[in-house]
Structure 1
Amino acid sequence: MSLSFEHAQRVAIIGGGPGGYEAALAAAQLGAEVTLVERAGVGGSAVITDVVPSKTLIATADAAVAIAGGGELGVQLFARGADGRPLQPEIAINLAAVNKRLLALARQQSDDMRTSLVDAGVRIISGHGRLDGRDAVIAATGPGGTDFDRIEADTLVVSVGASPRQLPTAMPDGDRILTWTQLYDMKSLPDHLIVVGSGVTGAEFASAYMNLGAKVTLVSSRDQVLPGEDADAAAVLERVFRRGGMTLLSKARADRVERTADGVLVTLGDGRTIEGSHCLLAVGSIPNTAGIGLEQAGVEMTASGHIRVNRVARTSVPNIYAAGDCTTFVPLASVASMQGRTAVFHALGDVVIPLEQRRIAANIFTAPEIATVGYQEKDVLDGSINGTVHKLPLSANPRAKMIGITEGFVKLIVHAGSGTVMGGVIVGPRASDMIYPVAIAVERRLTVDQVSRVFAVYPSLSGSIQDAMRALHLVENSDGEEN
């Protein structure tokens, strides 16, 4: 579909990550004249150095776990020694080959996205973009950014992403002290990886490298891994981590990280020290908004440098929109994509459904995965909603038994009166896939009875979602009142 304008609407986008990419596609689809300025490559850091490579690494770690755990299912791998007797081989990880593959996949994904934009008629400029007032973008191109291209536009979209936060007492060197964008240069598995930070990024990489065979210590300043997430989910993950040999240090703040002759030394706030071969800093991110003309254009920012946006991704300047991790909204690639599309739809007059944070499905790619959507159990406990919580362990699921799953659960949060599904948590393999029907139920305000009437394959992991819905069935009296 394209909208009819007296003159072609001009849309200029800074940043080609998930938000900028989707904004460009949507604008081209609606018949606009679109220019995208991107410095690293289409897909941005999400595709090139963050989401795509990290999840590819995690997929490799999952494969290693599946091979190692085959014995529990009766699958045994043996090699024969010189005397003809069977030997049990060890699983070896060629990290150089793993990293080469994941970087190639990331670049291929970036190239595919670029092709999609070109085919849609989007003009792509490789360079650094900044706002020039409220109606134009300056693209610095050429060697050292010495050439400039000025693009006038009716609508501007800023989607510049964020970068790993650095600490003055723990400066990354790209060799032993690393951010998550620098991990992929390692040629071999670290002997002992110290992960500072137990949020989503820290937990995901700690899980992956543990499952690849590295010794891992996770330093958390809070009392649980994944602070702010569902407590039951965090407890499952901590149990799996400890069983896998990981050392968890809770309520331990890293004050300093230093290089040693052959590794790193991490000093904690209480004076304790930890020696390791490498240290990964996962202490949050900062938006890439400095020096790109936002303040001069009158765009309202937070003290942290994030761009304030409303539910249609609009900034304080009517024709300037923003999407992704550089904004005050939820920092997820899927959210950035939706923000980009929503921004363009709103700017060009198409139908818009404002984004609502409670309907966003999110996933943490640890092993097991943790997926969430909507209200959570803590919202019931603190009285924010009148809800009922039901939790069903995956170990009771017949399909889970067949494939050897012993950890995980399905948890539903349902309105106590109407039975409307208000939220959910799924912990288990491929929770990122399993959360979708729960997300649909939350989005469409379905009741547990409506969802439970949908046929689930038997046996399947998704059958646990149906079982949990059925357990919350509301019995009606003869006069129609619910019990």
Structure 2
Amino acid sequence: MTEYDFDLVVLGAGSGGVRAARIAAGHGAKVAVAEEFRIGGTCVIRGCVPKKLYVMASRFHDDFADAAGFGWTVGETRFDWRTLVSAKEAEITRLSGLYAQNLDKSGVEIIRQRGVVAGPNAVAFADGRRVTTRYILVATGGAPTVHPQIPGIEHAISSNEIFDLAEFPRRLLVIGGGYIGVEFASVFVRLGAQTHLAMRSDLPLRGFDEDLRRLLRDGLVAAGVELHAGALPTRIEKRADCLAVAMDDGKTLEVDAVLVATGRAPLTQGLGLEAAGVALKENGAIVVDAYSRSSVPSIYAVGDVTDRLNLTPVAIREGHAFADTAFGGLDVAVDHALVPTAVFTTPEIGTVGLTEAEAGAQTKRLLVYETSFRPMRATLSKSAEKVFMKILVDGESDRVLGVHILGPEAGEMAQLLAIALRLGARKSDFDQTMALHPSLAEELVTMRTPSRIVER
């Protein structure tokens, strides 16, 4: 049997790589993790965690406005950007330290430099060190893509930089209608920025249920976001006091910052993968099977670098499954169906299962249950806030195929609904479940009559 320096070398200390390393080490493997930046990856350092903290900060805007209806006198409020940035940095530094501590406690060697694949069973590091390993796990994640490539695009920033701007952008243009674009537009308009959102299509969040897309657009506009649907920039000119952005609809926008949020791409460049024989997709993603194994039997990949379902919990589950299979004597393949997801705009979106379009294409008879109502908070605050809920049911089997929610705590509800849908819940199970009153979620078990029936 060949002797290796390690049983596993992981490239990238993000959520997926860290979980795989810890679980593998727990199974008795000798493991190393190579990371050239900070331990924790995109989610902890410049993704989910800081983003959610900024979302929370932005929602105080609505809280202050609503408080008067409940008898509170709040007084003058003022937002300080540098205080938020500093508090965020302290928290992600704490979390990054915990990730490193947990790796150390698990017996994983942390190599704080870039590692590249030097063969099916070898990894080379930036300092010239080279080690052999039974398995290599690529978990380097993704990076923002910058489109469109127009004159002056170098003056724009990506989601990597938006968290740490030295000065708060009083005027902000966000380019892109996906997760990142709509979330940051929602955050900055509530923090006090004059916010523009430019996107190629008429509605944000391509791939989501059409009702959610439409209602989110309306919610963003109601919050003060100036929407430029179907319009994109053609040039960015840096002036003394602003960035002048020429749009293809003939308008010119003067802003302090331009955030490009037009997508992310797998971070595989320069890792030596192609030389080692690893098959890549056109966008650079690593081609893997159900067990996260690449075309080279000793090289695996998990998380965004595979471009399967680019969510942090998915990367964690994939990393755990890999380690259990490779070192724990188990046979674990990740099921990517019925994964709940949330979009942390305000209003918030939580969703699990099929969209109405997807469900309608797969069933002969689709029952659509939906409701829209004012949350109890809005009755006293007099805000225009509305909650929307939709349940999609197979008319033949009564099985719930998808649930889509827009409103407060939609993400929390989607997480719990995912359990029910994975267990094969039927609409009759929803109907027989006692309502918890008063709550938003009770509406999910009180809808009795379909709003419409779609047949094909």
TM superposition score normalised by structure 2 = 0.91
Partner residue, 2:305: 326
Partner residue, 1:109: 95
Q: Would you say 1:59 and 2:56 are equivalent positions?
A: yes
Q: Would you say 1:152 and 2:132 are equivalent positions?
A: yes
Q: Provide the aligned length of Structure 1 versus Structure 2.
A: 446
Partner residue, 2:42: 45
Match of 1:10 among 1, 7, 22: 7
Superimposed CA distance per residue, residues 386-431 of structure 1 (whole angstroms, 9 cap, x where no aligned partner): 5322112242x65775787832222112221121122111111121
Partner residue, 2:336: 357
Q: Would you say 1:121 and 2:107 are equivalent positions?
A: yes
> CA, structure 1 residues 444+100, in 2 after alignment: closer, same or farther (shift >3 Å)?
same
- Map 1:340-419; keep pairs closer than 5 Å: 340-383=319-362, 386-395=365-374, 401=379, 406-419=385-398
Whichever residue aligns with residue 51 of structure 1, its letter is C
Q: Would you say 1:132 and 2:118 are equivalent positions?
A: yes
Q: Would you say 1:441 and 2:420 are equivalent positions?
A: yes
Distance 2:387 2:177 in 1: 20
Whichever residue aligns with residue 268 of structure 1, its letter is M
SS in 2 for 1:354: coil
SS in 1 for 2:23: helix
Q: Is the 8 A contact 1:95 1:186 kept in 2?
A: no
Superimposed CA distance per residue, residues 431-476 of structure 1 (whole angstroms, 9 cap, x where no aligned partner): 11111222112212122223444444322222122224x557xxxx
Partner residue, 2:436: 457
Partner residue, 1:163: 143
Whichever residue aligns with residue 70 of structure 1, its letter is A
Q: Is the 8 A contact 2:351 2:404 kept in 1?
A: yes
Distance 1:322 1:155 in 2: 11
Distance 1:335 1:402 in 2: 40
Q: Is the 8 A contact 1:196 1:279 kept in 2?
A: yes
Partner residue, 2:453: none
> CA, structure 1 residues 402+159, in 2 after alignment: closer, same or farther (shift >3 Å)?
farther
Shift of 1:227: 2.2
Q: Indicate the structure whose relative CO is greater, using CA pairs within 8 Å and at least 6 residues apart.
A: 2
Shift of 1:100: 0.9
Shift of 1:7: 10
Shift of 1:385: 6.5
Q: Is the 8 A contact 1:48 1:106 kept in 2?
A: yes
SS in 1 for 2:345: coil
Distance 1:319 1:401 in 2: 60
Gaps of 5+ in 2: 451-456
Q: Is the 8 A contact 1:177 1:259 kept in 2?
A: no
Partner residue, 2:33: 36
Q: Is the 8 A contact 1:372 1:426 kept in 2?
A: yes
Shift of 1:20: 0.4
Q: Is the 8 A contact 2:4 2:133 kept in 1?
A: no
Distance 2:389 2:330 in 1: 35
> CA, structure 1 residues 451+311, in 2 after alignment: closer, same or farther (shift >3 Å)?
farther
Shift of 1:57: 0.8
Superimposed CA distance per residue, residues 209-255 of structure 1 (whole angstroms, 9 cap, x where no aligned partner): 01111110110111112222222112222222222221101011222
Q: Would you say 1:26 and 2:26 are equivalent positions?
A: no
Q: Is the 8 A contact 1:196 1:282 kept in 2?
A: yes
Distance 1:7 1:262 in 2: 59
Distance 1:405 1:456 in 2: 25
> CA, structure 1 residues 35+385, in 2 after alignment: closer, same or farther (shift >3 Å)?
farther
Q: Is the 8 A contact 2:21 2:103 kept in 1?
A: yes
Q: Identity over aligned residues, as a percent? A: 30
- Map 1:91-240; keep pairs closer than 5 Å: 91-140=77-126, 147-167=127-147, 168-169=149-150, 177-240=156-219
TM superposition score normalised by structure 1 = 0.86
Distance 1:421 1:95 in 2: 44
SS in 1 for 2:201: coil
Superimposed CA distance per residue, residues 264-320 of structure 1 (whole angstroms, 9 cap, x where no aligned partner): 122223443211121111111222101111101111101111111223222112221
> CA, structure 1 residues 8+388, in 2 after alignment: closer, same or farther (shift >3 Å)?
farther
Gaps of 5+ in 1: 1-5, 79-88, 141-146, 473-483
Distance 2:278 2:104 in 1: 30
Distance 2:333 2:364 in 1: 22
Distance 2:28 2:443 in 1: 45
Match of 1:249 among 212, 228, 233: 228
Q: Is the 8 A contact 1:12 1:155 kept in 2?
A: yes
Which has the higher mean CA deviation after the structures are superposed, 381-390 or 67-76?
A: 381-390
> CA, structure 1 residues 320+259, in 2 after alignment: closer, same or farther (shift >3 Å)?
same
Distance 1:309 1:109 in 2: 30
> CA, structure 1 residues 120+386, in 2 after alignment: closer, same or farther (shift >3 Å)?
farther
Shift of 1:155: 1.7
Q: Is the 8 A contact 1:18 1:333 kept in 2?
A: yes
* TM-align CA RMSD: 2.4
Which has the higher mean CA deviation after the structures are superposed, 366-375 or 340-349?
A: 340-349
SS in 1 for 2:337: helix
Distance 2:430 2:124 in 1: 51
Distance 1:437 1:45 in 2: 25
Partner residue, 2:454: none
SS in 2 for 1:339: helix
